[in-house]
Amino acid sequence: MRTVLRRRLLLAAQTDAQAQLKDGIWTTRCLHCRRVLQLRADGEPLGLVTLEHVVPQSWFGLMPAQLLTSRVGDDADDPRNLALACAACNHGKGRRHDAHGPLDTRAVEVVTALLATRLSRWRAPPSP
């Protein structure tokens, strides 16, 4: 797996208040369905763990999405915008919502709720 992706998966776990590191394994729950997800301590996924961009990457730079993107520093890869999701949920979300732009009221509602969930699980990253 690519190093940059592993690093982002690890950052998503480190900044997730529900994630716990024990015996070299991070354990947390899917942002959507709360299924248990695990990563190795180096960020390598165990099972079908995927990196979720809570506010879709394609929404960054679009005026109608600015209220949402500004909450994560207008950076799609800001750790506040990264979460762990199981593959089924992440790909399902991609089909259902990301394809609709930020002018779609329902898509904005879903992303707003997901971002609130992500930020409620936020904890500061470890100092480098």
Distance, in Å, from the CA atom of 19 to the CA atom of 40, rounded to the nearest integer, reads 12
Q: Where is 67: in which H helix or E strand?
A: helix 66-69
Nearer to Zn ion, 27 or 66 (CB): 27
Nearer to Zn ion, 37 or 72 (CB): 37
**With CB under 5 A as the contact rule, which of the stretches 6-14, 34-42, 59-67, 120-128 interacts with Zn ion?**
34-42
Nearer to Zn ion, 30 or 114 (CB): 30
Contact 97, 111 (CB under 8 A): yes
84 binds Zn ion (CB under 5 A): no
30 binds Zn ion (CB under 5 A): yes
User: Phi, psi (5° rounding) for residue 79?
Assistant: -60, -25
Distance, in Å, from the CA atom of 61 to the CA atom of 106, rounded to the nearest integer, reads 20
Contact positions vs Zn ion (CB under 5 A): 30, 32-33, 35, 86, 89
